[in-house]
Amino acid sequence: MDKEQFIRTVAQEQESLRRFLRVLCGGDSFRADDIAQEALLKAYLSFEKFQGRAKFSTWLFRIAYNCWYDSARTSSAREVVSLDEVGSDRPDDSADAAAGFQRQDLRLAVSALSEAERIVVLLFYMEDKTVKDIEAITGMPSGTVRSHLSRARKHLREYLDRLGYGRP
């Protein structure tokens, strides 16, 4: 792969990556795009580390996940970083946050999950990643991924049933 091919491939993957990061960042598109850009530049500079054993998109997601994780742990002053506050019903101060989600239901639903469950659910249902992909992205063993997925499904089902989702 050369530089132009890298850019073309990244152009195909960036939307999915940014969407995932945007949800993790509680709808803050500026922060999500910052992290996405950081991750893609890291991927560009360390391309020799991509050995081709996993899919390219999985490798990009792994870098992006690590960048988000580092950012979330070091930036404790920001409101959106506080994962508990993501779960609150307070109006978000970020001008972008309301538009960040098509539906506030989703935001509230995923915010009720634990951090690990949230990440697994977003990768599995929103980005259509397999358990093996999620294992490679997050570093969690596949048994742990399945366990989080199972618990998250249970919580989401209860939430959707309360909303009356899917009922005619």
Partner 1 sequence: MADDKEIRKFIKSGAPDVGDSGRFMKDLERQIDLLPVPASLAGRGKERCGDEAAAILAMAKSRKLQNGVMSAAIAVVAVAVFAVVFVILQTIPHFEEFIRTYSVYVMSGFSVVVVCSVLLSLRHISI
Given a contact cutoff of 8 angstroms between Cβ atoms, the answer to whether 43 and 58 are in contact is no
Q: Least Å distance between CB 140 and partner 1?
A: 19
For partner 1, give the closer residue by CB, 77 or 102.
Answer: 102
Indicate the helix (H) or strand (E) that contains 33: helix 29-45
For partner 1, give the closer residue by CB, 29 or 71.
Answer: 29
Q: How far apart are CA 140 and CA 71, in angstroms?
A: 19
Q: Least Å distance between CB 33 and partner 1?
A: 6
Rounded to 5°, the CA angle 70-76-82 comes to 95
For partner 1, give the closer residue by CB, 76 or 168.
Answer: 168
For partner 1, give the closer residue by CB, 1 or 95.
Answer: 1
Q: Least Å distance between CB 19 and partner 1?
A: 5
> 26 vs 30, 55, 139, CA distance in Å?
11, 27, 22
Q: Which of 97, 144, 103, 100 is nearest to 120 (CA)?
A: 144
For partner 1, give the closer residue by CB, 76 or 108.
Answer: 108
Q: Least Å distance between CB 159 and partner 1?
A: 8
Q: Which residues bind partner 1 (CB under 8 A)?
A: 1-3, 6-7, 10-11, 14-15, 18-19, 22-23, 27, 29, 33, 36-37, 40-41, 44-48, 99-103, 105-107, 109-110, 121-122, 125-126, 153, 156-157, 160-161, 165-166
The first and second tokens of residue 165, run together, are 């989702």
Q: Least Å distance between CB 122 and partner 1?
A: 8
The alpha carbon dihedral of 71, 150, 92, 36 has a sign of positive
Given a contact cutoff of 8 angstroms between Cβ atoms, the answer to whether 86 and 94 are in contact is no
